[in-house]
């Protein structure tokens, strides 16, 4: 996975750190690092602008919120209790047959 693919998945702190490093490398780096930093900066800035416009702090936070909503639904009654009653009734029948 390339760094450009990872940008949307980074949390705010990691994205800010990446932007800081890319800025520094664009100004003081040499060769391929400087070129890659120059290519990354507009992508990072676009991601930050999108998050600001949508009010989403991180993509992960949005995913966790969606996942949390799914798991927050009330649970159905456990069928284990019914199974225990059947076992107890079967044991009682077996005890009655022994007598």
Q: Does residue 63 contact residue 24 with C-beta atoms inside 8 Å?
A: no
Query: What is the Cα–Cα distance from 49 to 47, expressed in whole angstroms?
Result: 5
- The model's confidence at residue 93, banded by pLDDT at 50, 70 and 90, is low
Query: What is the Cα–Cα distance from 52 to 98, expressed in whole angstroms?
Result: 75
Q: What residue spans of the chain are helical by DSSP H?
A: 3-6, 12-28, 31-54, 59-71, 80-98
- The model's confidence at residue 57, banded by pLDDT at 50, 70 and 90, is low
- The model's confidence at residue 1, banded by pLDDT at 50, 70 and 90, is confident
Res. 56: pLDDT tops 90:
no
Give the model's pLDDT for residue 79: 56
- The model's confidence at residue 55, banded by pLDDT at 50, 70 and 90, is confident
Structure tokens at 80: 């284990």
What secondary structure letter does DSSP report for 5?
Answer: H
Higher pLDDT, 26 or 99: 26
Res. 20: pLDDT tops 80:
yes
Average pLDDT, the chain: 77
- The model's confidence at residue 61, banded by pLDDT at 50, 70 and 90, is low
Q: Tell which residue, 60, 51, 23, has the closest CA to residue 39.
A: 23
């Amino acid at each position: 996975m390339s760094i450009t693919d990872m940008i949307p998945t980074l949390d705010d702190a990691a994205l800010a750190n990446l932007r800081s490093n890319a800025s520094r490398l664009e100004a003081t780096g040499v060769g391929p690092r400087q070129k890659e930093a120059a290519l990354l900066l507009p992508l990072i800035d676009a991601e930050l602008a999108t998050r600001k416009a949508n009010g989403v702090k991180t993509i992960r936070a949005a995913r966790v919120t969606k996942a949390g909503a799914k798991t927050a639904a009330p649970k159905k009654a456990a069928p284990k209790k019914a199974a225990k009653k059947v076992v107890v009734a079967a044991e009682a029948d077996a005890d009655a047959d022994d007598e």
